Chain A
């Protein structure tokens, strides 16, 4: 049961990671980050069956932080969108030497 859970979590994490690396749409990238977080959450839950309640508790923290992060992140995306009128990250390269 644990192995299957970890495989699923791993797959979701890899999908999330590839999404962040490959996609250009900043909203999709944002969603992929959520995927990664949730893959980790799944792992925590899976392990908590054998290790103890701490994993479950940690998941709550992650969800709470992720919610805050989503709020801040979306706000940033909206303000960037207002400026550039696009959500393609190729255009967001001001932080270059």
Chain B
């Protein structure tokens, strides 16, 4: 039996980092508040770098490095262990409710963590990519007055994210789920003095609350069914307790789906993610691309047995995924803010992951989650380096142009070669160019959709065929908008202005080294899970690519129950797509098509003239609809936000202040009025009292006598 090495320390190290950086942030805040109270302005960097702003450089990335090394040790240990059951470490009894005398129900939730193949992969991504982004942040955020606060939040985020993936029960997972939402809110609104950014954080938090309600309801339902909510208990009995496709399991998984659409920014709750770009760019890379937003995919993959038992929900997961993938990709076509394009691209790629876990290819979903974490983090960090450079250049000459608008960039490859090359590697990875990471992961998802459409007893077979075609279409859109992003940013003439261009420069070393590491992962990361069919074809160099279906067999202990359910109920998956052709043929087709789209886009844009943001005309026609994001925000505002506000205002002004407060005030005022009336009798005149006394005695006497 394999013994994990200090698993609790993996969680606790980032928490320690949060405590230290948080204390530094508080002391920095006090210093600046004292200075402001004394009437001055406070410049942290006046006398060099104070301890509050130099210690986080070591503490912040340091604790994550510690967590990463511990994870690595455990990962290597698990590699050699041949583990079939998750290793559970239970620390104390968290929620314990004794037996209900009427129903006999009881509830015991332990504060326990679970190490298995799935959580190990997630931990490697979180601490690994997290470490690189922490290092990048050192360069990116160093001159910000909120530097210690930034690292405090970032460490806290890593802590909660690890709780999310290491929790051994749904309630523990829920702590992490809520915690990462909190950190997301704090970091989106990091520059809270800008009201737009503060309200972007609020929007993210509120939209996520809707999803969180689904999570809670799902936990309650599971408790009703099982009387327990830990993974081992629920998954162990799921196949025996639930009927395949029955109403209860469908409801449970639908609630989980609502939760996942919120956290993972899927239709209909995706609207918070583009606004979340208000946060610092490394935050967008870590939270809003690589880790937190994939929590929904993790949730579905973790509950794979439950979803496999609910074919209707699975079809909905896949449907929502593919629609989101296509929808977000169309919006990304016409955005000019470099981070907005990447945000919609993230939503679109998350859609692919949902499609993967929806068609029952849980490994493929996690695989794409992993490769996406590499190349999307790289794209965001690269964009961060570009913005950093643009910001410096524009700041230098005090030009009030938007540092994030791609129309103001152009030709940056001459100034930022490392960023340029690494971002191109990430781009070819995301658009699915062979043999980069994204090709293998995306192709597996698309292929599994086709295989599902042709499965022996597949429910909704026609639907899956539609999904498959839409997924292929979305892949072409990805190729277009990514090529456009790269062209506008790095190629063609520089449009920043000749005086500004002198100040454009490559990012400092702490920033480009993480880019290079992530680039390597984006190139080779896909090789860990090449399906046998591809590997033996020309796309695998006729068996030359190493590792084969490593991730598939690695995750098998986690997904085997789900696969058992699928085999029983769906039968054999198809070997040819609905339009004919096997896996490697379609892989080749999508690769060639994506390559063609990229090259055509580059040629097409190379000939057209790009105008800078201030001179550019508003788009017209269909482009205008895409530019305005299909008016979804406006739609929600009109039909959801406004009615809620109107109702709230009615409840506040009429029901609360008038009816409820009115009733309370009426009781109070009535008592006072009555008191006033009665007090009139108290004249202070002895004669009156004597008179009243006499009358009273007479009345009493007459009552006795008569």
Contact across chains for B686 and A97 when beta carbons are under 8 A apart: no
Closest to A93 in B: B684
What is the CA–CA distance of A89 and B691 in the complex, to the nearest angstrom? 14
Q: Give me 16 A-to-B residue pairs in the complex whose CB atoms sit less than 8 angstroms apart, sorted by A's number.
A: A17-B690, A17-B694, A20-B690, A21-B687, A21-B690, A21-B691, A23-B687, A29-B687, A90-B685, A92-B686, A93-B684, A93-B685, A94-B684, A96-B682, A96-B683, A97-B679
Bitwise interface map of A from 1 to 37 toward B, beta carbon under 8 Å scored 1, else 0: 0000000000000000100111110000100000000
Q: Whole-angstrom distance between the alpha carbons of A21 and B690 in the complex?
A: 6
* Nearest A residue (CB) for B678: A97
Residues of B within 8 A of A93 (CB): 683-685
Interface residue from A21, A90, A95, A97 paired with B694 (Cβ < 8 Å):
A21
Bound Cα distance from A94 to B682, whole angstroms = 11
Q: List B contacts of A29 (CB < 8 A).
A: 686-687
Bound state CA distance, A20 and B687, in angstroms? Answer: 6
**Nearest-neighbor residue (CB-CB) of B695 within chain A:** A21
Q: Which of A21, A22, A23, A96 touches B684 (beta carbons < 8 Å)?
A: A96
Q: Give the distance in Å from the alpha carbon of A93 to the alpha carbon of B679 in the complex.
A: 14
Taking the closest CB of chain B, its distance from the CB of A91, in whole angstroms, is 10
Q: What is the chain A residue whose CB lies nearest that of B682?
A: A97
Cβ of B682: which chain A residues have Cβ within 8 Å of it?
95-97
The 0/1 profile, CB within 8 Å of B marked 1, for residues 62-97 of chain A is 000000000000000000000000000110111111
List 14 additional contacts besides A17-B694, A97-B679; criterion CB under 8 Å: A17-B690, A20-B687, A21-B691, A21-B694, A22-B687, A23-B687, A24-B687, A29-B686, A89-B686, A93-B683, A93-B685, A94-B684, A95-B682, A96-B683
Min C-beta distance of A63 to chain B, whole Å: 23
How far is it, in angstroms, between the C-alpha of A89 and the C-alpha of B685 when the chains are bound? 7
Give me the interface of A with B, judged by CB distance under 8 Å: 17, 20-24, 29, 89-90, 92-97
- Main secondary structure, interface of B, reads helix
Most buried by B among A21, A22, A89, A95: A21
Give, as a whole number of angstroms, the nearest-CB distance from A12 to chain B. Answer: 15
Docked pose: A24 CA to B690 CA in angstroms: 12
The interface centre, meaning the residue of A29, A93, A95, A97 with most chain B CB atoms within 10 A of its CB, is A97
Residues of A within 8 Å of B694, CB to CB, are 17, 21
Residues of A near B686 (CB, < 8 A) are 29, 89, 92
Chain B positions within 8 Å of A, measured between CB atoms, are 679, 682-687, 690-691, 694
A90, B683: Cα distance in complex, Å: 10
Least CB distance from A18 to B in Å reads: 9
Q: Is the CB–CB distance between B687 and A89 below 8 Å?
A: yes
Closest to A23 in B: B687
When C-beta atoms are compared, the residue in chain A nearest to B683 turns out to be: A96
Leading 3 A-B pairs by shortest Cβ distance: A93-B684, A96-B684, A97-B679
Instruction: Return A57 CB to nearest CB of chain B, in Å.
Output: 25
The chain A residue with its CB closest to the CB of B697 is A17
How many whole Å from B154's CB to the nearest CB in chain A?
66
Shortest beta-carbon distance from B219 to chain A in Å: 61
Of all chain A residues, the one with the shortest Cβ separation from B692 is A21
Collect the chain B residues with CB atoms within 8 Å of residue A95's CB.
Answer: 682, 684
Nearest CB of chain B from residue A36's CB, rounded to whole Å:
10
With CB as the reference atom, state the residue of chain B lying closest to A18.
B694
Please, how many angstroms separate the alpha-carbon atoms of A21 and B694 in the complex?
9
- Report how far A17 CA is from B686 CA in the complex, Å: 13
What are the residues of chain B within 8 A of A22 when measuring CB–CB? 687
CB-defined contacts of B679 to chain A, threshold 8 Å: 97
Which residue of chain B has the shortest Cβ distance to A95 in the bound complex? B684
Pick from B679, B683, B690, B691 the residue with the most CB of A within 10 Å: B690
Residues of B within 8 A of A17 (CB): 690, 694
Q: Which residues of B contact A24 (CB under 8 A)?
A: 687
Q: What is the chain B residue whose CB lies nearest that of A89?
A: B686
| A22–B684 CA distance with the chains assembled, in angstroms | 15
Give the distance in Å from the alpha carbon of A8 to the alpha carbon of B87 in the complex.
109
Residues from chain B with Cβ under 8 Å of A96 in the complex: 682-684
B547 CB to nearest A CB, Å: 94
CA distance A68 to B685 in the complex (A): 25
Complex Cα distance, B684 from A24, in Å, reads: 13
Query: What chain A residues lie within 8 Å of B691 (beta carbons)?
Result: 21
Residues of A contacting B690 in the complex (Cβ-Cβ under 8 angstroms): 17, 20-21
The distance from the CB of A55 to the nearest CB of chain B, in whole angstroms, is: 20
Whole-angstrom distance between the Cβ of A95 and the nearest chain B Cβ: 5
Q: How far is the CB of B519 from chain A (nearest CB, A)?
A: 87
Docked Cα-Cα span, A12 to B215, in Å, equals 90
Return chain A residues, CB-CB under 8 Å to B687. Answer: 20-24, 29, 89
In whole Å, how far is B182's beta carbon from the nearest beta carbon of chain A?
56
Cα A92 to Cα B267 in complex, Å, equals 83
Give Cα A29–Cα B685 distance, bound, in whole angstroms.
13
| Closest chain A residue, CB of each to CB of B676 | A97
- What is the CB-to-nearest-CB distance from B685 to chain A, in angstroms, rounded to a whole number? 6
Nearest chain A residue, comparing its CB with the CB of B691: A21
Shortest CB–CB separation between residue B686 and chain A, in angstroms? 5
A65 to B690, CA, bound (A): 20
Specify the chain B residue showing the minimal Cβ separation from A96.
Answer: B684
Q: How far is the CB of B690 from chain A (nearest CB, A)?
A: 5
Complex CA–CA separation, A93 to B688 (angstroms): 11
CB nearest to A92 among chain B residues: B686
Closest chain B CB from A48 CB (angstroms): 22
A79 → chain B closest CB, angstroms: 16
Residues of A within 8 A of B684 (CB): 92-96
Contacts of A23 in B (CB 8 A): 687
User: How distant is the Cα of A90 from the Cα of B679 in the complex, in angstroms?
Assistant: 18
When chains A and B are docked, how far (Å) is the Cα of A93 from the Cα of B690?
Answer: 14
Kindly report which residue of chain A lies nearest to residue B685, judged by CB atoms.
A93
| A17 and chain B: residue at smallest CB distance | B694
Chain B residues with CB under 8 Å of A20's CB are: 687, 690
Smallest distance from the beta carbon of B674 to chain A beta carbons, Å? 14
Distance in angstroms from A67 CB to nearest chain B CB is: 22
How far is it, in angstroms, between the C-alpha of A67 and the C-alpha of B619 when the chains are bound?
A: 110
Task: Chain B residues near A97: list those with CB within 8 A.
Answer: 679, 682
